[in-house]
Chains A and B, each alone.
Chain A
Amino acid sequence: DAKTTQPTSMDCAEGRAANLPCNHSTISGNEYVYWYRQIHSQGPQYIIHGLKNNETNEMASLIITEDRKSSTLILPHATLRDTAVYYCIDYRYGNKLVFGAGTILRVKS
């Protein structure tokens, strides 16, 4: 079973920042925070990951609280193509990825 908890769904206006929260209540010290998304009728797509520090890449930013019990994925300027299911995962190297139900993000014009 997935270890993380996420809201079932969220809406975001096109062009605004989308902030997707995730709770990692049982994350251990050697587990990374990974984010994936799954656009309708496609396979999941890796977005970003981090351990303690905030991370940014061309797709998104990842904010991890100091106690690592929560994280936020930020899409700075959401577009309609960002409508997808977003998954956060606690991952230890060498283990398997365990996906929960994720958050359905709807970007609306």
Chain B
Amino acid sequence: EAGVAQSPRYKIIEKRQSVAFWCNPISGHATLYWYQQILGQGPKLLIQFQNNGVVDDSQLPKDRFSAERLKGVDSTLKIQPAKLEDSAVYLCASSPPGQGLGEQYFGPGTRLTVT
């Protein structure tokens, strides 16, 4: 079974530029998550999708971050404009149905450096 795919793996941009990350969840997983992980900390949930609808985006900085999940499969997370404090690893995860959403499968992440 293929895992959660993310691209790119690494990205370096200057502040005020924009960037987009892509995620392809495990086939059949209706729930998709985006997390931000700052160095030395645990992952923090940014947004949760159920199919193509948003379930929780309470911790998404909506003035600069946006995410979409068209057709309920792939998802894109965008930052525009980026700030220095956005430097982090951005993780995508998905959950199988019937597991109560506690068992999540994570991708390898995208390491973003904002200079």
Contact = CB atoms under 8 A, between A and B. Distances in A.
**B interface bracket (residues with beta carbon within 8 Å of A):** 20 to 34
A93 B102 contact: yes
Contact of B102 (A41, A44, A49, A99): A49
A29 interface: no
Interface string B77-109: 000000000000001010000001111111111
A68 B108 CA distance: 32
A45 B109 CA distance: 12
A32 B102 contact: yes
Contact of A94 (B44, B101, B107, B108): B101
B37 to A, nearest CB: 8
Interface of B: 4, 40-45, 48, 56, 91, 93, 100-109
Given A44-B91, A93-B100, 11 more contacts: A34-B102, A43-B4, A43-B109, A45-B106, A49-B102, A49-B103, A87-B42, A91-B102, A97-B45, A97-B102, A97-B104
Interface of A: 2, 32, 34, 41-46, 49, 87, 91, 93-94, 96-102
